[in-house]
Amino acid sequence: MGPEVNTEAEITVRRALELPALRRGLPEVLAGQRRLDRAVRWVHAGEVPNIASLLKGGELLLTTGLGLGARPSEQRRFVRNLADRDIAALVVELGSRFETLPTALVEAARACGLPLIQLHREVPYVTVTEEIHTAIVNGHYALLRRADDVLRRCTDVLLRGGGTPEVLRLLAAFTGNPLCLEAPDGSPLYAAGPDGDETAAPGDADPLRAWEGLRGTGLRVDVPGGGHGPEAVRARLVLLPVRGPLAPVHRIVAERAADLLAVVMLQSRQEEVLAARGRGDFLADLAEGRITAADAPGQARLLGFRAGTGPAGPVLPVVMGLSSGLPGPGDWALLAQALREELTALGAPVLLGVRPVEGRVPLLVGLRDAGQREAVADRVAEALHAGFRRAAPPRPADRRPVVVVGAAGDWAAAGPGLRHAAEAAAAAQGLPDQPWHDARRLDIELLLWRMREHDDLAAFVTRAIGPLLTHDQTARQPLLPTLEAYLARAGRKAETARDLNVNRQTLYDRLARIAQLLGTDLDDPQTVLGLRVALRARRHTGR
């Protein structure tokens, strides 16, 4: 389909001269022949010297020449003022003032490129005005009718279950030009081009390439977001004049289609977050035991989940915990969509939900057998982190989400596995970053996290390492990192010194100082065990 350029509805100077009212005046074009295809916005008649100050631009001016002036300088100034106002054309009726138009007037019009027409016969101005204005109004009505037609087709697409991409392809076919839907930050969301044009150049076939080449140009229409400030614009529709010029009807359609796209995009976000929350509620009910193992496979299938080789196939519980919650439903919808798209490449069935209140994303992954757990966990964690980066680019102070993977098992184990992974994800906040944590190796962290509000835990931390924490608050050389490195290396002093990039004597001096402050023996196994637990408990007590 080629571009539907609007040539019938628009009234140009050339078309105006072909209308009966002006044709009866025997028009003769004396200047501006190359600009006869300029649009006529309105018709005005006047005989005063300062007529230019009364015009807005785009008018076809009718006059008998009484206000043109008697001297050549006045006539040139009269024409220049009209050209500066960017009128469509000057039409002078001969007889009342001039038998032929003055040379100065014609030369000035040619110099300015202003269409200048002389009428050899008298015409009723009111007839000319009525005829051209009627044609202009009819043209506007034709524009609106064509706009209604394409928008009706867009609505039909949506009613048949189509989405934003199909609407954009329909708009591209209507304009005959590529277009792009941009995010508020200017990044492309979707690019579409008209199909089936055999005359198109090879480069025109790629709408995204056209958008990159013409970035910042074309017709740009905001898709409203319904909010204020940054939320006032949800996206931006950009029409690119690659294969042909953009006509007025294209602007009308783009502006009205933007409102339609706003509703579609809002609805898709609401539907996405509602669906994701529904799946999240199912997973939460499963974790809390409100859904039995016998009922779970059937309800999961209703949500689009096909696990393993049957109802008893192994499932892998995974929970992603966010260090800070997302601001609103729209952000959770974007996150759910991005995660779902990333997980599509996994090649395994996934049931993904969101729990905005708890700030986590639970999911179940279907496995062929339990031996897949490690490999699938790696790929799931990679997809979750990639989806989160797409939907919520991290700020400098943010930690990346914690991904915890439970034990693979049947549906009877799926609920407890999800609950264990969810609690472990909360307990793992603040641990050193790694792609994913094994829930089975976080039991001590989980036990300490569950005791975080108990006074005995804080008292234990104070007794075990309190003097060291007090020392580090004012010391030029903190000692806590040395103790942490020493315990992480299981007391191997050579490896600890290498990790801290100090010589052995410096390490020995620091360890002696730590033992003195704590009043304990760092070579005693029970003491080492207590210090390990105290350092891990410290994260949960706020010390």
pLDDT tens track for 119-133? 999 999 899 999 998
pLDDT band of residue 313 (cuts 50, 70, 90) is low
The per-residue pLDDT for 227 is 62
The per-residue pLDDT for 311 is 47
Q: What is the pTM of this model?
A: 0.48
Give whole-number Cα distances, 268 to 41, 183, 265, 280, 340, in Å. Answer: 41, 15, 5, 18, 14
Which CATH code of 3.90.550, 3.30.70, 3.40.50, 1.10.3470 fits the domain covering 288-442? Answer: 3.30.70
Given a cut of 90, whether residue 175 has pLDDT beyond it is no
pLDDT band of residue 274 (cuts 50, 70, 90) is low
The per-residue pLDDT for 413 is 94
pLDDT band of residue 197 (cuts 50, 70, 90) is very low
pLDDT band of residue 312 (cuts 50, 70, 90) is low
Task: Show me where the domains of the chain are located.
Answer: 25-122, 159-267, 288-442, 455-541
The average pLDDT across 176-204 equals: 68
* Strand stretches in 83-241, DSSP E: 89-93, 116-119, 179-182, 188-192, 219-224, 233-239
Q: How many CB atoms lie within 10 A of CB 201?
A: 9
More confident residue, 114 or 330: 114
When the pLDDT of each residue in the chain is averaged and rounded to a whole number, the result is 84
The per-residue pLDDT for 214 is 79
Both tokens assigned to 529:
């065990």
The average pLDDT across 328-345 equals: 81
Helix (H, G, I), strand (E, B) or coil at 71: coil
Task: For residue 362, list its beta bridge partners.
Answer: 319
More confident residue, 289 or 391: 289
10 Å CB burial of residue 186 (0-12, 13-18, 19+) is exposed
171, 250 Cβ separation under 8 angstroms: no
Helix (H, G, I), strand (E, B) or coil at 213: helix
The per-residue pLDDT for 134 is 87
The per-residue pLDDT for 78 is 95
- Highest-confidence segment of 106-120, 164-178, 271-285, 457-471: 106-120
The average pLDDT across 350-368 equals: 91
Contacts of 232 (CB under 8 A, 6+ apart): 224, 225
Closest CA to 365 of 355, 377, 383: 377
pLDDT band of residue 206 (cuts 50, 70, 90) is low
Fold assignment, 25-122? 3.40.1390
Which of 19-28, 59-68, 312-321 bottoms out in mean pLDDT, i.e. has the lowest? 312-321
The per-residue pLDDT for 327 is 60
314, 367 Cβ separation under 8 angstroms: yes
177, 243 Cβ separation under 8 angstroms: yes
Contacts of 195 (CB under 8 A, 6+ apart): 1, 169, 173
The average pLDDT across 39-66 equals: 91
- Highest-confidence segment of 264-268, 329-333, 341-345: 341-345
Amino acid (one-letter) located at 16: A
The per-residue pLDDT for 298 is 82
Given a cut of 80, whether residue 424 has pLDDT beyond it is yes
The average pLDDT across 376-380 equals: 95
Which of 178-187, 226-235, 475-484, 533-542 bottoms out in mean pLDDT, i.e. has the lowest? 226-235
Closest CA to 176 of 148, 210, 145, 144: 210
The average pLDDT across 380-388 equals: 92
3-state secondary structure 451-503: CCCCHHHHHHHHHHHHHHHHHHHHCCCCCHHHHHHHHHCCCCHHHHHHHHCCC
DSSP 393-450: PPPTTPPPPEEEE---B-HHHHHHHHHHHHHHHHHTTTSPP-S-EEGGG-HHHHHHHH
The per-residue pLDDT for 203 is 44
The per-residue pLDDT for 231 is 63
The per-residue pLDDT for 411 is 92
The average pLDDT across 147-156 equals: 86
pLDDT band of residue 4 (cuts 50, 70, 90) is very low
Helix (H, G, I), strand (E, B) or coil at 372: helix
Fold assignment, 455-541? Arc Repressor Mutant, subunit A (1.10.10)
33, 13 Cβ separation under 8 angstroms: no
The average pLDDT across 442-464 equals: 81
401, 382 Cβ separation under 8 angstroms: no
Helix (H, G, I), strand (E, B) or coil at 169: helix
The per-residue pLDDT for 215 is 75
Give whole-number Cα distances, 47 to 2, 59, 383, in Å. Answer: 45, 15, 75
Fold assignment, 159-267? Beta-Lactamase (3.30.450)
Rounded Cα–Cα distance for residues 120 and 23 (Å): 10
Paired sense of beta strands 188-192 and 59-63, if any: unpaired
Map tokens 């204005």 to a residue: 133
Calculate Rg over the CA atoms of the chain: 38
Rounded Cα–Cα distance for residues 53 and 518 (Å): 91
More confident residue, 327 or 187: 187
pLDDT band of residue 55 (cuts 50, 70, 90) is very high
Given a cut of 60, whether residue 20 has pLDDT beyond it is yes
The average pLDDT across 8-20 equals: 84
pLDDT band of residue 398 (cuts 50, 70, 90) is low
pLDDT band of residue 9 (cuts 50, 70, 90) is low
Rounded Cα–Cα distance for residues 319 and 300 (Å): 17
The per-residue pLDDT for 202 is 43
Given a cut of 60, whether residue 230 has pLDDT beyond it is no
Map tokens 């260090």 to a residue: 323
Given a cut of 70, whether residue 407 has pLDDT beyond it is yes
The per-residue pLDDT for 377 is 95
The per-residue pLDDT for 409 is 92
Contacts of 469 (CB under 8 A, 6+ apart): 480, 538, 543
Kindly report the length of the chain: 543
Closest CA to 30 of 10, 13, 55, 49: 13
The average pLDDT across 490-496 equals: 87
362, 355 Cβ separation under 8 angstroms: yes
Helix (H, G, I), strand (E, B) or coil at 324: coil
40, 16 Cβ separation under 8 angstroms: yes
Percent with pLDDT over 90 in the chain: 31
Rounded Cα–Cα distance for residues 131 and 20 (Å): 8
Same fold, 159-267 and 288-442: no
pLDDT band of residue 530 (cuts 50, 70, 90) is confident
Rounded Cα–Cα distance for residues 272 and 224 (Å): 19
The per-residue pLDDT for 287 is 94
153-162 contacts at long range (C-beta below 8 A, 24 or more positions apart): 154/257, 154/260, 155/260, 158/260, 158/264
Cα 133 to the chain's mean position, in Å?
A: 43
Paired sense of beta strands 233-239 and 179-182, if any: antiparallel
133, 43 Cβ separation under 8 angstroms: yes
The average pLDDT across 253-270 equals: 78
pLDDT band of residue 272 (cuts 50, 70, 90) is low
